[in-house]
Amino acid sequence: MLNETKELLKGFYQLDDEVFELSEGVMDDIKGRFEEIKKVREYNQYKVLKAMQNAHLSDNHFNWTTGYGYNDIGREKIEEIYSEVFGAEDALVRPIIVNGTHALTLCLQGIVRPGDEILSVTGKPYDTLEGVIGIREEKGSLKEFGVTYNQVDFLEDGNVDLEGIKEKINDKTKLVMIQRSKGYSWRKSLTIADIKEVIDTVKSINKDLIVMVDNCYGEFIETKEPTDVGADIMAGSLIKNPGGGLALTGGYIAGRADLVELISYRLTSPGIGKECGLTFGTSRSVLQGFFMAPYVVSQAVMGAIFCARAFEKMGYDVLPKYDDVRSDIIQIVRLKDAKEVIAFCQGIQAAAPVDSYVKPEPWAMPGYDDEVIMAAGAFIQGSSIELSADAPIRPPYNVYFQGGLTFDHSKMGTLKAIQYMKNSK
């Protein structure tokens, strides 16, 4: 490390000697992990490049239309490229999909019908989907339209209960839902190998069952995606991994063409589907972000590994551990109490390029049962591929650290979080 860097860390960033020495030790511990990440990044980068070249991407595709958006060649080119990269027949990639929950909602509403049952095989889904399904009472939920819900919880060892899946599938089951990332749960995220095993189990019972994967936070972590191993449909957010920190908003859905068509009717209206929909000049940022995504995701994973090792060395429980196999960008740190959670998040905010002077506090965020604290000084509002941290204020006080457009920034976030926790004692 340059002497100038040391002076900057201790001077402007006010990291004390103990935190600085911890950082140096962590770097020595984790540097061996980075080689495999770089290999995955390289493959995914070339995969995206190949898709853009095969699509004959041109700067003409960065222009935009008005009104209905008929024959929007940029929109069509984006969806062609997403389809190839994700090994899918078709895709919807639109700025009018407001977040990952919206993308997943469109999938569910587009595919299931009254009398059908949704089976979640990875336990209770992420908090914001509870109201969509009707697990939590909300107006307009699928439950109101006669759609039922069932779930299979994880085994005690953290693995998917394959035998439980076989027992729960019945004549009403229409769609099997897999959540790849851990969400607000203390569990491992599913690897592509795990997802394939689940899909194979489901299809062995009934090959016509539709398997949907919530792929949020998982894109470009491995060399394959869920659609490469048999998922019928998957969805995610452009302000997470695939947007590369450049997409201004939006979400994607990719998979079987017939399912994408059904979902497009929910996105717009029956008979119109994906033929309409203005992209508002976002084609360039969406495509450039997608091009950058393999690199940016690799940086976020490296930052998560740094965070894990730092808190391990401080005696905290973390999931995953720094040397575990990873399948998303999220790092959980189990802190001692609400005070530590707040200090952690305030430290992350203090490391941000935007709104670093703001102190986040817990608040009643829509869609969540508990107060939530969120640190996100990002260029794109709510972008969790950028450095961020959030946590529901409830025992056992797990904080969820993710993102970082560069490893150095993600590393700084961890160090500021540690320093803020020390200072708050």
pLDDT over 90 at 184, yes or no? no
The H or E element containing residue 176 is strand 173-179
- Write the pLDDT tens digit of every residue in 224-237: 999 999 999 999 99
Q: DSSP 3-state assignment of 400?
A: strand
Q: Give CA separation, 424 vs 279, 374, 392, 414, in Å.
A: 46, 18, 20, 15
| Tokens at 389, concatenated | 């941290």
Residue whose structure tokens are 């900057």 = 8
pLDDT over 70 at 286, yes or no? yes
pLDDT over 90 at 2, yes or no? no
Structural domains of the chain ordered from first start: 3-43+291-423 (3.90.1150.60), 65-280 (3.40.640.10)
pLDDT over 80 at 365, yes or no? no
Helices 407-423 and 17-30 pack at an angle, to 10 degrees, of: 140
- Over residues 187-196, mean pLDDT: 96
What is the 3 state secondary structure string of 221-263?
CCCCCHHHHCCCEEEEECCCHHHCCCCCCCEEEEECHHHHHHH
pLDDT over 80 at 357, yes or no? yes
Point out which residues pair with 176 in neighbouring strands.
Answer: 119, 211
- Write the pLDDT tens digit of every residue in 29-66: 999 999 999 999 999 999 999 999 999 999 999 998 99
In whole angstroms, give the CA distance from residue 271 to residue 268.
9
pLDDT value, residue 71: 86
Residue 259 neighbours by CB under 8 Å, 6+ apart:
107, 110, 111, 210, 232, 233
- Over residues 206-211, mean pLDDT: 98
Residues 149-154: contacts with CB under 8 Å, at least 24 apart:
149/117, 149/118, 149/119, 149/120, 150/117, 150/118, 150/119, 150/120, 151/119, 151/120, 151/121, 151/123, 151/124, 152/119, 152/120, 152/121, 152/122, 152/123, 153/123, 154/122, 154/123, 154/187
pLDDT value, residue 82: 98
Confidence band for 127, pLDDT divided at 50, 70 and 90:
confident
113 DSSP assignment: -
SS3 content of the chain, % helix, strand, coil (to 5): 45, 15, 40
| Tokens at 101, concatenated | 């929950």
- Write the pLDDT tens digit of every residue in 172-182: 999 999 999 98
Q: Give CA separation, 170 vs 115, 128, 148, 174, 354, in Å.
A: 12, 26, 12, 9, 50
In whole angstroms, give the CA distance from residue 143 to residue 114.
9
- Write the pLDDT tens digit of every residue in 300-312: 999 999 999 999 9
pLDDT value, residue 367: 64
- Over residues 177-203, mean pLDDT: 94
In whole angstroms, give the CA distance from residue 211 to residue 122.
12
Assess whether the previous peptide bond of 395 is cis (omega < 30° from 0).
no
Q: What percent of the chain has pLDDT over 70?
A: 100
